[in-house]
Amino acid sequence: MVNSSRPPLRYRYWTRDELIAAVRGIEEGLSTGAASVGYSAAGTVSYVTRDNAMATLRDLYNRIDQLEGLGSAPVVRRVRMLAVKGY
């Protein structure tokens, strides 16, 4: 079980402003269909898939929520089920 009072290993030492800049950069990249996002002080990040970018956004938003004293969003896991005729 994960101790929710400790910050996650990712983004632990990032300031709120850095987190918001990263979120804005990723969201802008997604809205324009870019495959990579560049930051003025931090370089460039490339994404393999849109799902990868969305997972990173979720992590960033959860960290911002922790810094602001809000609870993290629950993790939703999707499982694909295929029904085969005859079962």
pLDDT in tens, 36-76: 666 665 566 666 677 888 888 888 888 888 888 876 556 67
Q: Is 72 a member of any domain?
A: no
In a domain, 40, yes or no: yes
Residue 5 lies in a domain: no
CA distance 74 to 68: 17
According to the model, what pLDDT value does residue 2 have? Answer: 46
What does each C-alpha distance from 60 to 21, 43, 44, 49, 77 come to in angstroms?
10, 17, 16, 17, 18
**pLDDT value of position 6:** 55
If you search the block for the tokens 């030492």, which residue do you land on? Answer: 13
Q: Which domain holds residue 51?
A: 16-67
Number of domains present in the structure of the chain: 1
